[in-house]
């Protein structure tokens, strides 16, 4: 395929990606402000990197971003399943391949030459991010309505358990974003493909 231009990311996938970027930024920033109002641990997030200005404002941003993330995620999954995009990009996936690629990444030997194919480490990271986003929404609903959704909260260890799950899922998603941005910096052509959807070989 040397010298050819191939379609890498369909328009719905690119739109979902950038909507997710905005939604996660809003959710994390406002979530940190909400956390500061009732910290789970013996530290606080610097107010300068939070969003909302005060608890009421942060809650409004957080709920708005939550519905945006949930709706966008449902549309992305529906598109991915209906068109086979998720199956083609994320599977097959085996523990052996994941272990091999993660070890290669830790040694700095993981190749990113062919951007048309996700390696096993990428597949696992993206599937984990989807799972974390789903758990964030579900645990957030359990925190928001612990009485009405008591059955959901009970699955997470009741209200405090849901808060802990919500926090650790947030931390995991932030870690994913940091690693993702680092890889984009190391392989900058991936950024353009998520804007144009096209990749030129050669």
CATH of residue 164's domain is: 1.20.950.20
How far is 65 from 34, CA to CA, in rounded Å? 14
pLDDT value at residue 188: 83
* Ranges under pLDDT 50 in the chain: 1
pLDDT value at residue 105: 79
Triad 183, 186, 189: Cα angle to 5°: 90
Residue with tokens 């083609």: 88
How far is 15 from 9, CA to CA, in rounded Å? 10
Find, among 14, 2, 4, the residue nearest to 192 by Cα.
14
Q: What phi, psi does 123 have (nearest 5°)?
A: -60, -45
pLDDT value at residue 106: 79
Q: Count up the domains in the chain and report the number.
A: 1
pTM of the model: 0.88
pLDDT value at residue 1: 45
pLDDT value at residue 193: 86
pLDDT value at residue 2: 52
The parent domain of residue 73 ranges over 5-200
| CB neighbour list of residue 85: distance below 8 Å, 6 or more residues apart | 10, 13, 79
How far is 87 from 77, CA to CA, in rounded Å? 11
C-alpha distance from residue 193 to each of 42, 198, 202 (Å): 42, 5, 15
Taking the mean position of all CA atoms in its chain, how far away is CA 179? 11
């Amino acid at each position: 395929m040397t010298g050819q231009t191939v379609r890498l990311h369909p328009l719905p996938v690119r739109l979902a990606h950038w909507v997710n970027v905005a939604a996660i930024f809003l959710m994390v920033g406002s979530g940190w402000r909400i956390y500061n109002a009732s910290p789970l641990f013996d530290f606080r997030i610097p107010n300068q990197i939070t969003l909302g200005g005060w608890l009421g404002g942060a809650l409004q941003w957080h709920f708005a971003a939550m519905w945006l993330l949930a709706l966008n995620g449902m549309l992305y999954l529906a598109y991915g399943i209906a068109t086979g995009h998720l199956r083609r990009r994320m599977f097959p996936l085996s523990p052996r391949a994941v272990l091999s690629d993660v070890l290669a990444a830790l040694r700095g030997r993981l190749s990113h030459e062919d951007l048309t194919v996700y390696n096993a480490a990428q597949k696992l990271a993206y599937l984990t991010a989807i799972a974390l986003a789903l758990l964030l929404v579900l645990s957030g609903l359990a925190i928001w309505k612990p009485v009405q959704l008591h059955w959901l909260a009970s699955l997470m260890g009741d209200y405090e358990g849901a808060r802990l799950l919500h926090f650790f899922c947030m931390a995991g998603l932030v870690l994913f974003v940091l690693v993702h941005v680092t890889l984009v910096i190391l392989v900058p052509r991936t950024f353009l493909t998520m804007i144009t959807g096209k990749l030129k070989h050669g």
